[in-house]
């Protein structure tokens, strides 16, 4: 058997895959601006390469593609959503062909933005009603373009049209809600917004992964809440306040992020599973590729019979002067800001 590469080695391979895919996405947008059909076969090969990197080490490519500059966003966003969709679909246990199709869908989902001017897409301030109407036209424009492109998977057409729909029906372009939305649409909405808010944009700075998921959890009606939890699990990143079990035999509460790229999850350990007793709280930074200590799973407070879990959680979170920077969901770059 071939020796498994380490995290650093996979980062080097993932960087090459990202560069090749980004070049292809740039070419796709340029061709679309000229009215040409999308070269779907090329996108399938690139999605397959991204899937192979994720299979070897999912953290490497996903961490790298998040570190994009403001002027790279339009193209690398498509690469990032492709990677997130593949990783999410694999975690959900979907069939290999469906995983690949969802990856291709991620690469193609924003192609309709060729119909929106760069001045609007990169505008630092709030959009006018006319500008917002222009932005909200991109799912329909993209769907029309993909429908005329031979070989585009049905899931790509679905995701392109529906990735800005919301579970409560307040999204666009169709205002669909609940069970009217396909699994692909609900997954795509999560991946699209997560990458948007964790990226530097002309009108906002990037949020940390932990902070983004914490805020997204509070946007009632935007996402399928059960799928959002599964998405967090797929990344190994958990919102602030989540109860998790560590490989050390301890329980802790997620309090934030750490590391140069905020890639580590900081867990405030407070309970020994062997002695079934509380211990002096201590913070542990869990790196993405760590074998020990590592987060094994999120846990249920009911299983451990914690009485008044909300009160206990608040006490644990307040047990140190160190606090994680969590974005305010009422900030103007909240749910509405992610619509771009």
Residue 340 has a pLDDT of 66
SS3 assignment for 276-336: CEEEEEEEEEECCCCCCCCEEEECCCCCCCCCCHHHHHHHHHCCCCCCCCCCCCCCCCCCC
Domain 7-236+332-339 class? mainly alpha
d(CA 35, CA 168): 35
Residue 6 has a pLDDT of 74
Per run of 10 residues, the mean pLDDT along the chain (length 340 residues) is 64 92 94 91 94 90 82 88 97 96 96 92 90 96 95 96 97 96 97 94 85 93 96 89 94 89 87 95 85 89 92 89 40 53
Q: How big is the chain, counted in residues?
A: 340
d(CA 182, CA 89): 14
SS3 assignment, position 48? helix
Contact, 99 vs 82, CB < 8 A? no
Cα 148 to chain centroid distance, Å, stands at 29
* Domain map (residue ranges) of the chain: 7-236+332-339, 243-317
The residues, any chain, with a CB within 8 Å of residue 155's CB and separated by 6 or more, are: 98, 101, 102, 104, 105, 184
Structure tokens given for 98: 């469906």
Q: Which helix (H) or strand (E) holds 242?
A: none
Residue 5 has a pLDDT of 55
Q: Which helix (H) or strand (E) holds 195?
A: helix 183-197
Residue 321 has a pLDDT of 42
Residue with tokens 């069970």: 179
Contact, 116 vs 55, CB < 8 A? no
Nearest to 50 by CA among 5, 82, 3: 82
d(CA 65, CA 258): 18
Nearest to 215 by CA among 235, 200, 193, 199: 193
DSSP label of 204: B
Structure tokens given for 324: 């994680």
Question: How do residues 208-263 score in pLDDT, each as one tens digit?
Answer: 888 899 999 999 999 999 999 999 989 888 889 999 999 999 999 999 888 877 77
């Amino acid at each position: 058997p071939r020796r498994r590469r380490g995290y650093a080695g996979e980062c080097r391979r993932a960087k090459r895959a990202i560069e090749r895919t980004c070049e292809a996405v740039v070419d796709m947008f340029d061709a679309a601006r000229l009215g040409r059909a999308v070269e779907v076969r090329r996108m399938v090969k690139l999605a397959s390469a991204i899937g192979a990197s994720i299979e070897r080490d999912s953290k490497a490519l996903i961490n790298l593609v998040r570190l994009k500059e403001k002027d790279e966003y339009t193209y690398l966003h498509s690469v990032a959503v492709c990677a997130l969709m593949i990783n999410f679909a694999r975690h959900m246990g979907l069939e290999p062909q469906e995983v690949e199709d969802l990856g291709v869908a991620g690469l193609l989902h924003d192609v309709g933005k060729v119909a929106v001017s760069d001045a609007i897409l990169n505008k630092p301030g709030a959009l006018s009603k006319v500008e917002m109407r222009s932005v909200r036209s991109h799912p329909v424009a993209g769907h029309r373009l993909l429908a005329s492109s031979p070989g585009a998977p049905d899931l790509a057409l679905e995701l392109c049209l529906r990735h800005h729909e919301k579970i409560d029906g307040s999204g666009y372009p169709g205002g669909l809600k609940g069970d009217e939305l396909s699994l692909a649409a609900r997954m795509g909405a999560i991946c699209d917004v997560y990458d948007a808010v964790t990226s530097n944009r002309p009108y906002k700075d990037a949020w940390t992964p932990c902070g983004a998921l914490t805020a997204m959890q509070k946007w009632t009606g935007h996402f399928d809440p059960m799928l959002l939890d599964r998405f967090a699990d797929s990344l190994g990143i958990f919102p602030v306040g989540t109860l998790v079990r560590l490989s050390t035999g301890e329980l802790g509460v997620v309090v934030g992020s750490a590391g140069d790229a905020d890639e580590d999850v900081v867990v405030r350990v407070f309970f020994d599973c062997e002695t079934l007793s509380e211990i002096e709280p201590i913070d542990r930074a869990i790196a993405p590729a760590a074998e020990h200590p590592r987060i094994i799973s999120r846990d249920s407070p009911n299983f451990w019979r914690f009485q008044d879990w909300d009160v206990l959680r608040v006490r644990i979170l307040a047990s140190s002067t160190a606090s994680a920077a969590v974005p305010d969901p009422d900030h103007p770059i909240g749910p509405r800001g992610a619509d771009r």
